[in-house]
């Protein structure tokens, strides 16, 4: 940011979109602090970080479009405990709620980047995807950039609050994953005796 100014902040967020372990919750307040120091303007920080967010989302959208629905079904079929029907149900859900998922997903840790992939897989209209991504990213980026600007040298005070939100999301994902695995194992254990009985009946 010191070298490139506002475009440097945009570049940092572009990279963050492609490599989620780089937390936007740290980069964005830092950009606000840099604006407070005069290294870049506050408006420039918000605009360029939003441009970086959209550019990163386009890359992941392109990845999803390259994979395509059929290839995703094939990949899903190879994942343990995942059925092709799960991919189809996810596709149907995205067809109904995709616009909300993209908009609000840009404001949820972890999902901020990944939501672009199913949008590409299901070939959501690129202009619609771009507008929703830009709108959601603008809100998210503005909150953290302005917070860093107002806090000044204490910009890092934002991190504990952002971490709480991230922990909540991680806990929800972990709970959902456990629920899915347990339910799927139980269903397959129940299904197996019925299939064996049907096979034995056909043999008789």
> CA-to-CA distance for 175 and 169, rounded, in angstroms?
10
> CA-to-CA distance for 65 and 177, rounded, in angstroms?
26
Count of C-beta atoms within a 10 Å radius of residue 3? 7
DSSP single-letter state for residue 41: -
- For residue 138, what pLDDT band results from cuts at 50, 70 and 90? very high
Instruction: Give the dihedral of Cα atoms 35, 51, 167, 61; nearest 10 deg.
Output: -170
Looking at residues 142-154, what average pLDDT do you find? 83
pLDDT at position 98 = 82
Q: Which residue, among 52, 5, 2, has the nearest Cα to 24 in the 3D structure? A: 52
pLDDT at 151 over 60: yes
């Amino acid at each position: 940011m010191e070298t490139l100014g506002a475009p440097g902040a945009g570049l940092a967020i572009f990279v963050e979109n492609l490599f989620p372990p780089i937390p936007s919750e740290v980069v964005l307040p830092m950009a606000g602090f840099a604006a407070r120091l005069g290294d870049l303007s506050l408006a420039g920080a918000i605009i360029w970080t939003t441009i970086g967010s959209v550019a990163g989302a386009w890359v992941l959208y392109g990845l999803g479009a390259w994979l395509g629905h059929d290839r995703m079904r094939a990949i899903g079929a190879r994942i343990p405990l995942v059925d092709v029907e799960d991919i189809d149900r996810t596709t149907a859900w995205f067809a109904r709620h995709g616009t909300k998922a993209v908009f609000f997903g840009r404001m949820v840790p972890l999902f901020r980047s990944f939501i672009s992939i199913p949008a590409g897989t299901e070939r959501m209209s690129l202009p619609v995807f771009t507008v929703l991504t830009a709108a959601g990213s603008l809100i998210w980026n503005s909150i953290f950039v302005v917070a860093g600007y107002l806090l000044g040298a204490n910009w890092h005070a934002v991190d504990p609050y952002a971490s709480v939100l991230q922990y909540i999301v991680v806990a929800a994902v972990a709970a959902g994953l456990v629920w899915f695995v347990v339910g799927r194992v139980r269903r397959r254990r129940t299904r197996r005796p019925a299939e064996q009985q049907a096979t034995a009946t056909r043999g008789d």
